[in-house]
C-alpha cells in the first residue's frame, strides 16, 4: 500500500469508528440490559441467539459485520478496511536446537515472523526489544550470524538468556535495562535493525519513538496489548491521528485484543465462571449500596474461584470496604450473575465486529507516525490468526 492509501484507510476507519461508537463502546460488565433499546431489530436478533451461536459468532466477526450491515450498510466497509495482505514469505531454516525451553506456539510465531521479514542485507547489528530470555534474538543471531543486543528489564531473564547464548556460541549481549529509560536508547543508537515480536503497549511505542529520534535505519515491529499504557487515555503518535479528536480509554483499547485462540475448554469455563461471579457480586453491591453503577474488582487468583461464589463475594466486599450480611443469599445473586452473563455475551457479539477495526486503527497510527518521520513502511500479516490473532507486522526502512 502507498502512503496515500494508508492515510485514506485510516481516515475511513476513523469515520466509521466515530460514527458508530455507540455500537462498540459500551462496556459489557457495566450494563444490566442491552444498551440499544431503540434498536429493536438488533435486540431481537441478539436475544434469539443461544450460547453456542454467540460463541461461534464471536469467533467469526465477518458474520457479525454482515448482520449489522443489513441495518447499517456503511458497516460493510469494515471487512475491506481491515484487510491486510499476507506477507511474502521466504523459508528461513532455524536450528531446532535453539527452540529448547520455548513453548511450541511461541517458537512457531518466531519462525513465521522471521519468514516474513524483508531481506536486510545491510544490517550489521540487531536490537531485540523487550527480549525476555532472548528467544527471538537466538533465532536472528543464528540465521544472520550478526550480533544482537537484547534489552530486557528483568535481570534474571537476561542472565538466563546470556548463559544460553554463551553455551550455543551466539553473538548476543543482554542489557538489564528499563525500556523507557535513556540507557536503553543508548544501546539502540548502536544498532541498525530493531526487532520486537509482541512488545506490549507503551514498550513498543517507546521503541518507535526512540528509533525515530536516533534515526534507526530499519524496524520490524509486531505490536501487542495496546491497552498497557501509563495514561488513562490513549495519546496518538501521528499528527493525523492526533487531529481526529478520537478519545480512547484503556477500556476502549482492550477491544483490539479481545480475540483469543489459545486456551481450551477448561480455560473458557474458568473465564465464564469468573465473569459470572463478578456480575453476581455486582448485582449484590448495587442493591447493598443503593447505587446503580458498576464497581470493578481487582484481579484474582484463579485458584480462589474454587472456594465458591459466597467466598468470592466476601473477598469482593472486603476489597471495596463493604460488609457482606449474615443472611447473604448466594444462590439468588449467582442466578442474577448468570442472567447478566447472557447480556454481556450479547454485547460482546456486537463488539466483535469492531475488534479488528480498532486494532488496524491503532497500527495505522504507528505506520503514519513512521511515515511522518521519513520511513518507507509496509504492513502485513506474518501468520494466520490461528497461530496468533496479533499477527500484524510493521516493517519500516529509513528513506535516505
pLDDT of residue 261: 60
Quick one: pLDDT at residue 1? Answer: 42
Rounded CA gap, 199 and 212, in Å? 17
Cβ neighbors of 287 (< 8 A, separation 6 or more) are none
Fold of 96-257+355-398: Rossmann fold (3.40.50)
Interatomic CA distance for residues 222 and 395, integer angstroms: 9
- The C-alpha cell at 195 is 526487532
DSSP for 171-187 reads -EEEE---TTSHHHHHH
148 φ, ψ to 5°?
-125, 130
Low-confidence ranges of the chain (pLDDT < 70): 1-4, 120, 260-263
Taking the C-alpha atoms of residue 109 and residue 114, their distance in angstroms, rounded to an integer, is: 9
Do 337 and 279 form a contact (C-beta atoms < 8 A)? yes
* Residue-level pLDDT at 122: 72
Cα 251 to Cα 226: distance, rounded to the nearest angstrom: 10
Q: Which residues pair with 196 in a beta bridge?
A: 221
What residue ranges do the domains of the chain occupy?
96-257+355-398
- pLDDT in the model for residue 2: 44
Distance CA 358, CA 241 (A): 13
Phi and psi of 197, rounded to 5°? -110, 110
Strand order in the sheet with 392-398: 172-175, 148-151, 126-129, 193-200, 218-224, 392-398, 375-381
The pLDDT assigned to 268 comes to 85
Amino acid at each position: 500500500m502507498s502512503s496515500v492509501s494508508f492515510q485514506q484507510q485510516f481516515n475511513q476507519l476513523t469515520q466509521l469508528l466515530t460514527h458508530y461508537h455507540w455500537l462498540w463502546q459500551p462496556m459489557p460488565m457495566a450494563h444490566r440490559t442491552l444498551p440499544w433499546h431503540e434498536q429493536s431489530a438488533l435486540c431481537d436478533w441478539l436475544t434469539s441467539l443461544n450460547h453456542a451461536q454467540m460463541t461461534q459468532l464471536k469467533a467469526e466477526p465477518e458474520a457479525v459485520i454482515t448482520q449489522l450491515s443489513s441495518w447499517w450498510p456503511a458497516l460493510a466497509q469494515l471487512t475491506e478496511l481491515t484487510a491486510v495482505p499476507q506477507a511474502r514469505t521466504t523459508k528461513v531454516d532455524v536450528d531446532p536446537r535453539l527452540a529448547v525451553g520455548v513453548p511450541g506456539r511461541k517458537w512457531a510465531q518466531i519462525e513465521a515472523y522471521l519468514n516474513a521479514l524483508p531481506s536486510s542485507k545491510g544490517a550489521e547489528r540487531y536490537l531485540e526489544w523487550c527480549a525476555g530470555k532472548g528467544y527471538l534474538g537466538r533465532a536472528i543471531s543464528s540465521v544472520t550470524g550478526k550480533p544482537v543486543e537484547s534489552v530486557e528489564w528483568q535481570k534474571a531473564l537476561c542472565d538466563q538468556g546470556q548463559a544460553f547464548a554463551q553455551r550455543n556460541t551466539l553473538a548476543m549481549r543482554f542489557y538489564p535495562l528499563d525500556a523507557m529509560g535513556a540507557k536503553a536508547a543508548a544501546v539502540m543508537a548502536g544498532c541498525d535493525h530493531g526487532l520486537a515480536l509482541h512488545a506490549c503497549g507503551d514498550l513498543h511505542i517507546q521503541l518507535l519513538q526512540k528509533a525515530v529520534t536516533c534515526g534507526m535505519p530499519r524496524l520490524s515491529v509486531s505490536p501487542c496489548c495496546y491497552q498497557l499504557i501509563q495514561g488513562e487515555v490513549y495519546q496518538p503518535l501521528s499528527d493525523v491521528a492526533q487531529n481526529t479528536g478520537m478519545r480512547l480509554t484503556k477500556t476502549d483499547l482492550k477491544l483490539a485484543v479481545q480475540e483469543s485462540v489459545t486456551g481450551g475448554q477448561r480455560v473458557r469455563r474458568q473465564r465464564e465462571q469468573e465473569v459470572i461471579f463478578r456480575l453476581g457480586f455486582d448485582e449484590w453491591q448495587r442493591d447493598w449500596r443503593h447505587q446503580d453503577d458498576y464497581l470493578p474488582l481487582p484481579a484474582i487468583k484463579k485458584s480462589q474461584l474454587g472456594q465458591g461464589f459466597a467466598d468470592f463475594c466476601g473477598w469482593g466486599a472486603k476489597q471495596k470496604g463493604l460488609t457482606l450480611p449474615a443472611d447473604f443469599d448466594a444462590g439468588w445473586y449467582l442466578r442474577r450473575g448468570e442472567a447478566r452473563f447472557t447480556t454481556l455475551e450479547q454485547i460482546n457479539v456486537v463488539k466483535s465486529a469492531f475488534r479488528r477495526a480498532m486494532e488496524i486503527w491503532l497500527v495505522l497510527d504507528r505506520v503514519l507516525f513512521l511515515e511522518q518521520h521519513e520511513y518507507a513502511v509496509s504492513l502485513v500479516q506474518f501468520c494466520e490468526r490461528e497461530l496468533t490473532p496479533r499477527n500484524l507486522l510493521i516493517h519500516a526502512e529509513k528513506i535516505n
